[in-house]
Structures are given as structure tokens and as C-alpha cells.
Amino acid sequence: MHVRRTHRRALAAAFTAGATATVLAAGLGSSAFAATVFSDNFDDGNSSGWSKSGGTWSVVTDGSGVLQQTNRDSELARQFAGQTSWTDYQVQARVKPQSFTSSSSLVGLAARSSSSTRMYRLALLGSGRAELQAVNGSQITVIGSASTGAATGTWYTLRIETSGSTIRGFVNGTQVGSGSDSLVGAGRIGLVTAYASGSFDDVAVDSGGAGTPSTPPSTTAPPTNPPPTTAPPTNPPANWPTPTGSQKVDATVQVSGTFDGGLKRYYGIGDGGQSESQDPMFVLAAGATLRNVVIGAPAGDGVHCEGNCTLVNVWWEDVGEDAATFRGGSAYTVDGGGARSASDKVFQHNGSGTVTIRNFRVENAGKLYRACGNCSTSYQRHVVLDNITARDTDALAGINTNWGDTARFTRITILDDPGRDTRICVKYRGVAKGSEPTEIGEGADGVNCLYSSSDITYR
């Protein structure tokens, strides 16, 4: 008997500008930055929407909800949010150092993080100084610094402003550094510790709009089936491949360019469960391609695409949290491969633009695709599903019709489903952070869910 699963947890975080934007405007003084495009005060008790890299993080109560990193022996612990396409903006947060292990230990805030080790950082040091830094791996360039007497157990308000090549840092409203630097032109925000523990609260991003998404979502028309970037096979493969070998992964693999795994199995990140605090197995930079990879269990939070990306012949043997999350770009392609044992969903679409999934197998899953219904920024999102074979899967796609999402289906084959329990297109009403999307319907409508009976074959 086919048993339909229920939605188990909140999707990634979202926000409402409202009162938070008013408070920020009052506290930031005169600035060219006007629109609040992201905020999180952790009062909802979770860190949904943030991506962890290293450290031990949890939301705790310190007067109100705060995000805390407690592993003071971690060489570098980071949480990232936002989009890799963000350019000119200011990010502000309250930061409390809890402990330093040395004078060079730090607790701080990051802007324009183009990767986990490339960013601008405003750091409170164990020496009592604050430094505005350009970070490029192990190479640290100090743009400016000042003595602040930073003490453990005390809250400080940190702010970084980026405008073109001009980078400025402020502690409690006082500028501690300013200079011109061209290391990175765009990237996400981050919360950072190094050989220290600390707490973070009241994070907000304001922008004049250059390169930064805004709400409400856009109304751009979705593309029709995008042209393939590689020649697809005629049909999804009938069987899961036999890995050519196995390799345990102890830390997230950063991919730029093309990573070809030769159909080797990669495993070892996370605990195989649904926790959102798990690190991803692979993080793909904008424009990267991951191909010929078998992802075994545990696989943490699977694959993160930080910009446009291509996944070719990638197989997930046992999806834990999500198989892949599409974040900072506008066009993502999954060509070939398959996924199974996803208790919630396979592909999570948090960024804008279109996800194309073709020549793909899915088995024993909740949803093959879900457009985020309560992320930090509300986009109009689109998905194109072509030449899909599904077995024991509750739904192929979930979209938010109130934001103009669309899902287009062609050459869909549903196996072993005589009762036709697999739902093709499920419609939701997208909501702001702290709320849960509401299911409002399903089925083809010629507007959001685009398919006809001839597009779906049951066998």
C-alpha cells in the first residue's frame, strides 16, 4: 500500500521587513543604503536559511534567541546566508565574544563571502583590537584597525559597508577601518569565529539595490525548456550504477570549474538524518559542474550550488537532509542520475531563476522538487522536469503560486502506481519567515502547473 508522507519540518528561513526594518533605520544613522533585504533575530528558535561550515552552532536563549558557536577549539567556524550575487550593501549584527584562546582568536562578521575562505571580515580579536580584513584563504590583509578593548561577555554592534571597491567597518557606530580593495566584488554575509566562542543576534542586510534581490518577487516570464548544456541520454538509466570505489569525506569539498568523480562513491558528512545544521558534501561555486559522482550515506546536506551550476550523472544512494540546494544563481541544470530514500524532498530551490531536471530517476521520496515557501527572500521560481521516471514518490513538484512560480512537465513516467497516488504538481501559498506555507491545491491549470494527460505515463 502506498502511504503518503506528510511535511516533516519547516523549509529554509525567510523574513518580514516590517518592524525590524524600522529599528535598523533608527540605529544606522545616515546612509546611502535604504532597503532591508534580509534580517534574522533567531527568535523563531532555529537557524534555517543559514549554511554552516565548521564549529558547533545552536540557537539558545540570551534574553532572546541568539545563534551561538561554542567550540572554542574550532580553527574556523562560519555560518553563511544571503546570495552570492549581492554586491553593494551593508550588513550589521550584534556580536558577543564568549571566550578567546589567544590574542589572535576572533569573533566577527563577514561580507561579500564569495567562498568559505574568501571574504571581507570585521573581527573582534582576543588582543582587544578590531580589524577590518580582506581574507583570501590564509592570506589576511588588514584594511584598517582600532583598539576597542573588546571584552568577553559584552555585546558589540558590528557593521560592514561595501560600495564598489570601498570597504568600511564600524564597531558600535565608530569607524574602525576604511579602504579600497578589489579582492571580491560580490558574495554572501557570514558570522565567523576562529579559536573562539561567541554569540550572534539581530543580523540585517540593507541595500540600495545594486545586484541585490528584493521583495516582492519579480514577475519575469519563465523560460521554455532551456537548451541542454550536454547531450542527454535517451532515457533515465534503468539501474543505479556500481561505484568504481569509495572515498570518505571529512570536510566539505569546494568545487570551482569541473569536478569529475569517475563514478566513485563519496560519503561521510553528517549523520544521515534531517538536521539542517549538517554541512554539505559539495559546495559548487558559480558556474561549476559536478559530474559522475555517487553520493553515499551519510551525505550531510548534499550539494549546495552557490550560483548557476550543472550536475551531470550524479547519484544519491540515500538522501539525508536534501540531495541538492540551489541558492545564488538563476539557471541550474540536473542532467541524468537519480536519487532515492528522501523522506522529505530531493531538490530544494532557495534562489531565483529556473531549475531544469531531465533524464532523472527518483525512488522512495517525498517530493522531487520544492520551491522554498518561506526563505529569506521571496522569489518567483520555475522548474522544468523532462524525461523523469518516478517510483514510490509522493509528489514531483511543489511550487508557490502566489509568487508566480511555474512547473512544466514533459515525458513523465510513474511506475507501480495503479492508484495514481503520486501527485504531479502541488500548489502552496508562500509565506514569510517564521510561518509555514499552506497547501492550496494541485493539478494542471495552464498557468502555474503546466502539463497535459499525454505528458504523464503510468506503468
| Average pLDDT over the chain, rounded to an integer | 85
Cell of 2: 502506498
Q: State the Cα–Cα distance between residues 399 and 321, nearest whole angstrom.
A: 19
Would you say residue 114 lies in a domain?
yes
SS3 category, 29 = coil
Angle (CA) 341-278-358 rounded to 5° is 45
Let me know whether 103 and 192 are in one domain: yes
Q: 157 and 250 in one domain?
A: no
**Domain check: are 328 and 448 in the same one?**
yes
Q: Which residues of 299-328 are buried (b: 16+ CB within 10 A; e: fewer)?
A: bbbbbbbbbbbbbbbbbbbbbbbbbbbbbb
Residue 235: per-residue pLDDT? 60
**pLDDT by residue (tens digit) across 230-286?**
344 446 666 789 999 999 998 999 999 999 999 999 999 875 554 556 889 999 999
CA-angle at 327, arms to 324 and 329, nearest 5°: 120
- Measured distance CA(273)–CA(276) in Å, rounded: 9
Query: Given a cut of 60, is residue 180 above it in pLDDT?
Result: yes
Maximum CA extent, the chain: 71
> In the structure grid, which three cell numbers stand for residue 133, read together?
580584513
Q: pTM for the complete prediction?
A: 0.54
Is 80 exceeded by the pLDDT of residue 436?
yes
In the predicted model, is pLDDT for residue 445 greater than 80? yes
Cβ 187 vs Cβ 176: under 8 Å: no
Judged by DSSP in three states, 23 sits in: helix
**Does residue 154 belong to any structural domain of this protein?**
yes
3-state helix, strand, coil in the chain (%, to 5): 5, 55, 45
Same domain? 202 vs 338: no
Give Cα separations from 70 to 1, 55, 57, 73, 434 (angstroms).
46, 7, 7, 9, 25
Task: Give the CA distances from residue 429 to residues 215, 377, 441, in Å, rounded to whole numbers and listed in that order.
Answer: 16, 15, 10
Cβ atoms within 10 Å, residue 382: 26
CA distances from 123 to 69, 146, 169 (A): 15, 11, 10
For residues 17 and 12, what is the distance between their CA atoms, to the nearest angstrom? 17
Does residue 143 sit in the same domain as residue 279? no
User: For the segment 366-403, what is each residue's pLDDT rounded down to a tens digit?
Assistant: 999 999 999 988 899 999 999 999 999 999 999 999 99
Q: Which domain holds residue 250?
A: 246-458
Q: Classify residue 179: in a domain, yes or no.
A: yes
410, β-bridge pairs: 386
Report d(CA 330, CA 355) in Å as an integer: 8
Q: Are residues 103 and 39 in the same domain?
A: yes
25 is a domain residue: yes
Give residue 8's pLDDT: 28
Please give the pLDDT value at position 315. 97
Bridge partner list, 122 = 109, 132
Residues 263 and 405 in one domain: yes
Q: What is the CATH number of the domain that holds 55?
A: 2.60.120.560
Q: Which of 212, 204, 205 is nearest to 84 (CA)?
A: 212
> How far is 358 from 233, CA to CA, in rounded Å?
9
Grid cell of 202 as nine digits = 539581530
**Is pLDDT of 223 > 80?**
no
Alpha carbon distance 114, 327 (integer Å): 13
DSSP letter at 373 equals S
Spatial CA neighbour of 364 closest among 397, 321, 393: 393
CB 126 within 8 A of CB 172: no
Q: Does 212 fall in a domain?
A: no
Please give the tally of structural domains in the chain. Answer: 2
In this structure, the chain runs to a length of 459
Shared domain check, 412 and 274: yes
Final residue belonging to a domain, choices 180, 207, 234:
207
Q: Are residues 312 and 390 in the same domain?
A: yes
HSE of 14 in the Cβ direction (CA atoms, 13 Å)?
25
Distance CA 262, CA 243 (A): 9
| Domain match, 202 and 250 both | no
- Answer yes or no: are the C-beta atoms of 340 and 320 closer than 8 Å: no
**What's residue 33's pLDDT?**
47
How far is Cα 295 from Cα 340, in angstroms, rounded to an integer?
11
Same domain (yes/no): 413, 285: yes
pLDDT for res 120 = 96
Cα–Cα distances (Å) from 381 to 97, 332, 378, in that order, read 39, 12, 9
